[in-house]
Each structure stands twice: as structure tokens, then as C-alpha cells.
């Protein structure tokens, strides 16, 4: 009986990052193919949203982009270590916190895949208001950011709740 529960939890835990990874891969492949077919990086433009393919060699939202290959490989190694740490945290977590970490893991795996196979992460969502543009990002970045925000809120609310009991 215990092994069946563990098996069920493992399947549920693998489902969230797998779905996020598939959504991320599908969206990136679609945008890359659109870009190849149109011979242009700007694929869609509107008042608040542009779809423009940008190859990001840095970390989330294009931060720490650089040309040096050794630094790129070092950064990729750091990201891999962080994924392992997140995986260990998932094993030790329960409840909503575990699900938030699974969201981060799914997004991180999607971006790591691109770093390894493309040597850069395709970003394509450009949200803007007039000339004020946010960083260009992708579906994986959405889940990483959402997971981290929910983790912060969860920890803050749970810590506050624990202090109120004292």
C-alpha cells in the first residue's frame, strides 16, 4: 500500500514538469519554425504584445548575456546544479510548496534543454507599452517566475501564520 502511494505521488510529481516542458518546447519549436519560414525575427506585432525571436545566451530575461564560451558553459553548469538542488527540495517538500517547486523545475528543464542543444534559449514574448519594453521571455520563464512568486508568497504567509500562533 505504501509503495502504491509513493508510485502515485511520483507520477503526479512528474506530470507537472513534463507538461510545462512540453508546452515550452512546443511554443519554441513553433516560433522557431515561423521565423525560418518568414525569414524575419519579428513575427507578430500589436499595441501591447510582440512575438519576436531573440536568442538568449544569458539567464532569465537575457540577464548576463555574453560571448565568452567558457563563461556560458560555467553558467550552464550552475543552472544544472540549481536544477539538482530544486529536485532535492521537491523530494523533501509536500503540499503546495512541492507544486510550486515543480513549476520551477519544469521551466528550468525547458531552458536547460535549449542551452544544451541550441547553445542559447529562444525567447519570443515581448510585452510593452508604447516604447517601454519588458524583457523578452518564453513559456519556461513564465513558469519559473510564477513558481518563484508563489513560493515567496507561500513562505511569507506560512511564516506569518506560524508567528501568529506564538
Q: What integer is the mean pLDDT of 82-101?
A: 93
Q: What integer is the mean pLDDT of 159-165?
A: 64
Catalytic residue among 24, 114, 123, 126: 123
* 141 in active site: yes
State the Rg of the chain over Cα: 18
Closest by Cα among 119, 137, 18, 124 to 76: 119
Residue 119 in contact with residue 31, Cβ under 8 Å? no
pLDDT digits (tens, 9 = 90+) for 38-91: 777 788 888 899 999 999 887 655 555 555 777 888 888 999 999 999 999 998
SS (H, E, C) the chain: CHHHHHHHHHHHHHHHHHHHHHHHHHHHHHHHHHHHHHCCCEEEECCCEEEEEEEECCCHHHCCCCCCHHHHHHHHHHHHHHHHHHHHHHHHCCHHHHHHHHHHHHHHHHHHHHHHHCCCEEEEEEEEECCEECCCECHHHHHHHHHHHHHHHHHHHHHHHHHHHC
> Is 76 or 23 the better-scoring residue by pLDDT?
23
Residue 93 has pLDDT above 60, yes or no: yes
The whole-number pLDDT of residue 4 equals 61
The whole-number pLDDT of residue 164 equals 61
Residue 136 has pLDDT above 60, yes or no: yes
Residue 103 has pLDDT above 90, yes or no: yes
Q: How many residues does the chain have?
A: 166
Q: What is the distance between the alpha carbons of residues 160 and 166, in angstroms, rounded to a whole number?
A: 10
Joined grid coordinates for residue 151: 513560493
The whole-number pLDDT of residue 5 equals 56
Residue 6 has pLDDT above 70, yes or no: no
Residue 26 has pLDDT above 70, yes or no: yes
pLDDT digits (tens, 9 = 90+) for 104-135: 999 999 999 999 999 999 999 999 998 888 88
Catalytic residue among 24, 114, 126, 141: 141
Closest by Cα among 108, 111, 133 to 28: 111
Q: What is the distance between the alpha carbons of residues 102 and 105, in angstroms, rounded to a whole number?
A: 5
* Whole-prediction pTM: 0.83
Sheet arrangement for strand 121-129: 42-45, 49-56, 121-129, 132-133
The whole-number pLDDT of residue 60 equals 55
The whole-number pLDDT of residue 57 equals 80
Residue 145 has pLDDT above 90, yes or no: yes
Amino acid at each position: 500500500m505504501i509503495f502504491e502511494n509513493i508510485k502515485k505521488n511520483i507520477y503526479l510529481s512528474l506530470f507537472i514538469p513534463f507538461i510545462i516542458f512540453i508546452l515550452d518546447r512546443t511554443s519554441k519549436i513553433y516560433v522557431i519554425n515561423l521565423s525560418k519560414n518568414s525569414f524575419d525575427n519579428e513575427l507578430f506585432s500589436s499595441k501591447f504584445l510582440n512575438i519576436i525571436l531573440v536568442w538568449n545566451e544569458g539567464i532569465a530575461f537575457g540577464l548576463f548575456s555574453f560571448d565568452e564560451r567558457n563563461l556560458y558553459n560555467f553558467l550552464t553548469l550552475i543552472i544544472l546544479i540549481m536544477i539538482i538542488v530544486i529536485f532535492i527540495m521537491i523530494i523533501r517538500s509536500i503540499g503546495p510548496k512541492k507544486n510550486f517547486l515543480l513549476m520551477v523545475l519544469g521551466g528550468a528543464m525547458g531552458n536547460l534543454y535549449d542551452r544544451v542543444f541550441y547553445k542559447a534559449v529562444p525567447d519570443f514574448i515581448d510585452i510593452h507599452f508604447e516604447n517601454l519594453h519588458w524583457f523578452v521571455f518564453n513559456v519556461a520563464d513564465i513558469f519559473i517566475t510564477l513558481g518563484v512568486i508563489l513560493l515567496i508568497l507561500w513562505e511569507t504567509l506560512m511564516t506569518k501564520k506560524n508567528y501568529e500562533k506564538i
